[in-house]
């Protein structure tokens, strides 16, 4: 029993002080990867949310809500070219300033250990869903070279979930540099590998951040047109 072992928070790197008491001594050990201070800064998405994208309605002006959809999803579903491809996106946390910095470390500064932080939470959500295939959103070869690893694939690996890398990405300018309108009107940004067997399969796409939903919908559209039955997505942040 490692009651007095001093672990360091994988986010802020401060020492994690263990809970000392009878309950801690006799309960099953659970590895604590982040300190309580950092955990409190992660804002879990809760309450009433958009039926498709998980956007919290409490943070949305009523004029940008259309029934059980946020206005963005309403516009996606109103467009015949995109309607119905992405059934549902589940996001774990709000993309606040703290998580923005954490994600920058994870994605752009190569801090792979942060995949371990989120893998446990991701696995908890996945257990509540029905899925046949887990597909990480791929990076282009250029982005993969820059970052050193695919953060979506890393999340699946650390969660002990099978990763089906059946999509490849066409290299384009970074999505973050484009407006919502430009993202919507992009040509297809993914290719499906020829040997992919997804006919009638229920698929969950894995990505780091849901912003406009363009990336996930491009992937969902390609998979649905190739015969998948249902496509949902799971992202760390919204």
pLDDT band at 27 (very low <50, low <70, confident <90, very high): very low
Which helix (H) or strand (E) is 203 found in, with range?
strand 202-209
For residue 23, what pLDDT is reported?
47
Do 120 and 220 share a domain, yes or no? yes
CATH number at residue 67: 3.40.50
Model pTM? 0.87
For residue 108, what pLDDT is reported?
85
Do 71 and 31 share a domain, yes or no? no
Residue 173 included in any domain: yes
Residue 142 included in any domain: yes
Residue 72 included in any domain: yes
DSSP for residue 137: P
Answer for the pair 62, 207: CB distance below 8 angstroms, yes or no. Answer: no
Provide φ and ψ at 111, rounded to 5°: -85, 85
- Structural domain span for residue 18: 7-38
Residue 2 included in any domain: no
pLDDT band at 107 (very low <50, low <70, confident <90, very high): confident
Do 150 and 173 share a domain, yes or no? yes
Do 145 and 162 share a domain, yes or no? yes
The string of pLDDT tens digits covering residues 31-71 is: 789 999 999 999 999 999 999 999 999 999 999 999 999 99
Higher pLDDT, 181 or 232: 232
Pick left, alpha or beta for residue 141 (phi over 0 → left; psi -120 to 50 → alpha; otherwise beta).
alpha
For residue 80, what pLDDT is reported?
93
Do 16 and 62 share a domain, yes or no? no
Do 20 and 130 share a domain, yes or no? no
For residue 192, what pLDDT is reported?
96
Do 27 and 68 share a domain, yes or no? no
Number of domains in the chain: 2
Average pLDDT, the chain: 88
Do 113 and 72 share a domain, yes or no? yes
Cα–Cα dist 161/184, whole Å: 31
- List Cα–Cα distances, 115 to 92, 106, 132, 178, 199, in angstroms: 14, 8, 22, 27, 30
Do 13 and 128 share a domain, yes or no? no
DSSP for residue 64: G
pLDDT band at 1 (very low <50, low <70, confident <90, very high): very low
For residue 52, what pLDDT is reported?
98
Higher pLDDT, 20 or 194: 194
The string of pLDDT tens digits covering residues 147-202 is: 889 999 999 999 999 999 999 998 665 555 556 566 556 678 899 999 999 999 99
Percent with pLDDT over 70 in the chain: 85
Do 149 and 189 share a domain, yes or no? yes
Residue 81 included in any domain: yes
Do 51 and 150 share a domain, yes or no? yes
Do 135 and 100 share a domain, yes or no? yes
Residue 1 included in any domain: no
Residue 162 included in any domain: yes
């Amino acid at each position: 029993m490692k009651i007095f072992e001093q672990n360091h928070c994988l986010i802020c790197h401060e020492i994690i002080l263990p809970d000392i008491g009878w309950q801690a001594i006799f309960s099953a050990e659970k590895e604590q990867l982040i300190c309580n201070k950092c955990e409190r800064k992660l804002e879990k998405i809760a309450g009433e949310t958009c039926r498709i994208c998980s956007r919290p309605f409490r943070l949305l002006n009523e004029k940008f809500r259309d029934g059980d959809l946020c206005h963005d999803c309403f516009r996606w579903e109103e467009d015949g070219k995109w309607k119905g491809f992405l059934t549902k996106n589940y996001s774990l946390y709000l993309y606040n300033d703290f998580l923005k910095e954490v994600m920058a470390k994870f994605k752009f500064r190569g801090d792979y250990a942060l995949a371990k932080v989120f893998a446990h939470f991701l696995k908890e959500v996945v257990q509540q869903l029905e899925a046949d295939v887990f597909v990480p959103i791929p990076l282009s070869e250029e982005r993969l070279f820059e970052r050193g690893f695919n953060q979506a694939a890393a999340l699946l690996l650390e969660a002990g979930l099978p990763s089906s890398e059946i999509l490849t990405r066409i290299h384009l300018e970074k999505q973050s540099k484009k407006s919502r309108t430009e993202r919507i009107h992009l040509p297809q940004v993914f290719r499906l590998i020829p040997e992919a067997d997804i006919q009638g399969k229920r698929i969950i796409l894995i990505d780091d951040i849901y912003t406009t939903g363009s990336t996930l919908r491009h992937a969902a559209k390609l998979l649905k047109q190739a015969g998948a039955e249902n496509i949902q997505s799971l992202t760390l942040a919204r």
